[in-house]
Amino acid sequence: MSNFREKLLTALDKTQPSALFQQHPAKTNEEIEDILFQKYRTELADGRRKPNQPQEESQTSDSHDTYRYIPRFHFELPKGTNSLAQKLREEARTLFLQKRSKELLDNGEFKLLWSLLEKHHTPPLVAEEQYINYENYCRVGTIAGEKFRRYLTATTFARLLASSSSPGRIGVIALFNYTMRKVWLQQTRIGLSLYDYTGQGFLSESDMESYILELIPTFPQLEGLEKSFHSFYVCTTVRKFFFFLDPLRTGRIRIRDVLTCSFLDDLLELRDEEIPKDAQELNWFSAPSALSVYGHYLNLDKDHNGMLSRKELIGYGSGTLTPIFLERVFAECLTYDGEMDYKTYLDFVLALENRAEPQSLHYLFRILDVEHRGYLTAFTLNYFFKGIQEELSAHRAEPINFDDVKDEIFDMVKPADPTRITLKDLIGCGHGETVVSILIEFHKFWAYENREVMVTSAASEDTHNL
């Protein structure tokens, strides 16, 4: 802040203050400084104004007559050449976030809230749980003080009352947990906003990477992670946020979306000292999961050049993804000299491991849409099913008529247009995962084709065990 002040004063010294002292002889130095600041800020806001240009010729856009009736609602961000305006914006944003942070409850205030709720709970207990009615709820807010009232509102009571098992009362524990959750969300939003350098409510990939990198030392579950792997862990973590929250690949995600999705909860679970092994394996952000994903990538990289070719990617998963599908993956996804890097591989993994999700179907639909028409036709389905037929032939299995498969797919999807399947149709039908799987992966197709036999075998085995 001191450097900013020095730069400002240096710039203001060039505006000939002696004239202002003559115009305002009764003003103090601080008041004159404020006048100069406002003057110089106005000059910065109007890039068209020259240093010695007359005031009449340098009116800002705000002085236009229409602003008497329609208020200005758009303010452009400071340009890269305007370092003073950028610094001013950053300082103002930092002060605003600090102010909001001070409004949050700390540990001592949470203890006070808990003691007041226990003291003023409304008998009787229900299954040894304390409840509180609205009268005592208001009393707690009055005693606790102004800082607590923004959490203990009538709206909060009504919201919790809707799910309460006691008429006219809400659970003390439910109220306390709700307040803690709300404070945690506000703290997290402030923490994320510190990386939002434009102040527009969005985070770029580099912003999110900086946030995750600074979180790593705070997670006990990541203490054993080698520093050399940190960059790969950050990439693995950030890709999940951007794959699901930025399916259109705009390069940024909304802070609001980050807060409302479940990924942040999964990530912050790593603060726990102990997490069951099975829970770690299911958590994409855990160290074992990240190491496993990266380990599979290294195992596929047979020539050890840090990239994956189409031939190397054939070994992914069950090893039965059809060559036609993989050819389309490399045609549609970002590659370098025909090879896939780790970031592109992560998108590929996330899409195939979460095929039922709309974002994954969006990713896979782009690959299936060979003609780039925005819909799939019988021709498109036949194009990919040829890969399945080749696998059937290689396994010396009985050939399957494509028309039967096509009719079954259209029956599952029930598209609005009976001759074409759009992404909306695929997502809305509820069978998108099945449709995609039987077109791109042989073992998934085989399992689907023989599902009735497998169910009968399982039932027979259960009967035999009985």
% of residues, the chain, pLDDT over 90:
66
465 against 395, higher pLDDT: 395
Q: What is the pTM of this model?
A: 0.78
Residue 79 has what DSSP assignment?
P
Euclidean distance between CA atoms 107 and 7, whole angstroms = 40
Residue 48 lies in a domain: no
Residue 117 lies in a domain: yes
389 and 370 belong to one structural domain: yes
226 and 350 belong to one structural domain: no
Residue where a domain terminates, one of 130, 159, 184? 184
Residue where a domain terminates, one of 265, 292, 319? 292
307 and 422 belong to one structural domain: yes
Range with the lowest mean pLDDT among 243-247, 377-381, 453-457? 453-457
321 and 355 belong to one structural domain: yes
260 and 378 belong to one structural domain: no
124 and 213 belong to one structural domain: no
429 and 448 belong to one structural domain: yes
pLDDT in tens, 404-456: 999 999 999 999 999 999 999 999 999 999 999 999 999 999 999 888 765 55
Residue 55 lies in a domain: no
CATH number of the domain encompassing residue 219: 1.10.238.220
CA atoms within 13 A on the CB side of 155: 4
275 against 419, higher pLDDT: 419
For the chain, how many structural domains are there in total?
Answer: 3
Cβ atoms of residues 418 and 410 within 8 Å: yes
- In this predicted structure, the answer to whether residue 217 has a pLDDT above a threshold of 60 is yes
Query: 239-244, long-range: CB within 8 Å, 24+ apart, which pairs?
Result: 239/343, 239/346, 239/347, 239/350, 240/284, 240/285, 240/346, 240/350, 241/208, 242/205, 242/208, 243/346, 243/347, 243/350, 243/351, 243/359, 243/363, 244/350, 244/357, 244/359
